[in-house]
Chain A
Amino acid sequence: MSVLAQVTGSIGSVGYGLAAIGPGIGIGIVFGLGVQAIARQPEAYNLIFRNMILGFAFAEALALIGLVMPFVYGT
């Protein structure tokens, strides 16, 4: 099959950029709502902050998998 179009260069970087969109939105939501919750109920700070960090960690994992993959499957 003949090649019609080709993309060369650092495709891994493009892939990572795409992979970071979702977690970026997710982390924004986690901290945005977390700050809102703390503003509404400052006395529950410890509880909210801990859950905020947990949510952040879950969302962030996706971006980090995206970061590692180009190195794993790179040439």
Chain B
Amino acid sequence: MTAIALAAGALPAGTGTRMHVAEEFHAPGLGLFQWEPLFDIGPIGVTKPMVLAVFLSALLIMFFWVAFHRPQLVPRGVQNLGEVGYLFIRDDIARNIIGKRGDKYVPLLFSLFFFIWFFNLASVIPFAQFPVTSRFGYPAVLAAIVYVTWVGVGIRAHGLGGFFKAQIPSGLPKAIYPLVIPIEYASNMIVRPFTHAVRLFANMFAGHLLIALFAITAWHFIVEQPTVLGFGVGVVGVVMTAVMTAFELLIQALQAFIFTLLAASYIGGALEESH
């Protein structure tokens, strides 16, 4: 475990485990997610996830700049692709969840969806092979942005008192309110941003761990310690690595979609007149 942690910290994920010639099989652990700084900028040690985040952001900005910098009435080439993405966010998320007023929030939702999707996709891109969102800092900041947005939107729409009143469902028997009020505030104000971030983080974390587990299984039983009995296990590892990678592609898109959908539903809920 510590050997993997050290090796994986110094080298890219793929080669890190290769350095680890073990007598017995060791499952991958938290070491996969701990990176030594590649280089320093002032007091900040720049790690691989940070480099990936900057690189992927630049790639994303470049892509949509190419798509939309000279928009044509009849779209051609890359603009078609960009418009499909834009229409998906506007029609399927913003207008469906928030309604016509949601058009104002399309830029936020659009950026959220594509940044998260690209960050997740890094998990299966060769040589990158690390989902940036499996470091908790990235989803935490994104969830914080959404939190500040929907609270701000709610306060602007209803005023400070109206916003806090709108969190509580009205029309219940009076005796239930002492129970309902703390539960509603705890779930909306504290648990909601936490689960919003953890949902994305834990999905990417678990997915990366799962792929690494099967890949290391294959490597260990076919190359490192080949035995007649173990070979079958290694083949299962190879097959499952491919299957899990395909499954991860689905989960990555789905989690980006869910994060954006929830952001839209929080904003929509804050805009509503009352519950």
For B, the interface residue count at a CB cutoff of 8 angstroms equals: 18
Whether A53 touches B257, Cβ cut-off 8 Å, given contacts A67-B206, A71-B30, is yes
**Across the interface, do B96 and A57 meet the contact criterion of CB distance under 8 Å?**
no
14 further A-B contacts with Cβ under 8 Å, apart from A56-B258, A64-B198, are A46-B96, A50-B261, A53-B254, A53-B258, A54-B261, A57-B258, A57-B261, A57-B262, A61-B195, A61-B198, A61-B199, A65-B195, A67-B206, A68-B198
For A, the interface residue count at a CB cutoff of 8 angstroms equals: 15
Chain B positions within 8 Å of A, measured between CB atoms, are 30, 92, 96-97, 195, 198-199, 201-203, 205-206, 254, 257-258, 261-262, 265
CA distance A56 to B194 in the complex (A): 17
**Which residues of chain A in 41-69 are interfacial with respect to chain B, using CB atoms and an 8 Å cutoff?**
46-47, 50, 53-54, 56-58, 60-61, 64-65, 67-68
**Across the interface, do B203 and A64 meet the contact criterion of CB distance under 8 Å?**
yes
Whether A65 touches B198, Cβ cut-off 8 Å, given contacts A57-B262, A71-B30, is yes
CA distance A24 to B257 in the complex (A): 21
Interface centre among B195, B254, B265 (most CB of A within 10 A): B195
CA distance A71 to B202 in the complex (A): 11
